[in-house]
Structure 1
Amino acid sequence: MIDVNSAGSWAEAHVPGAVNLDPSGYAAWLSGKLPTEGG
């Protein structure tokens, strides 16, 4: 499990390529990067 309490760990984990580490977290991160959120 990734220590989401650490901003550094979260940033390192939630980047393209880390989908294999946390697919659900990656999906959530990716959805936040899409323009559908209105920027």
Structure 2
Amino acid sequence: MNSNELIVYLLQIGNSYGLMARTNEQYEYLVRVTLSAYLSK
């Protein structure tokens, strides 16, 4: 699973919990920042 697939997966999880109704861009930004920080370790 590459990073883009992981981002899509996390976005789908967020969608299933209704977290992205108004914060899609903010959530995606948070996912990308978290993922990039994780991958840089």
TM range (shorter): 0.3 to 0.5
Query: Which has the bigger relative contact order, CA under 8 A and spacing at least 6?
Result: 2
What TM-score, normalized by structure 2, do the two folds share? 0.38
Structure with higher helix content = 2
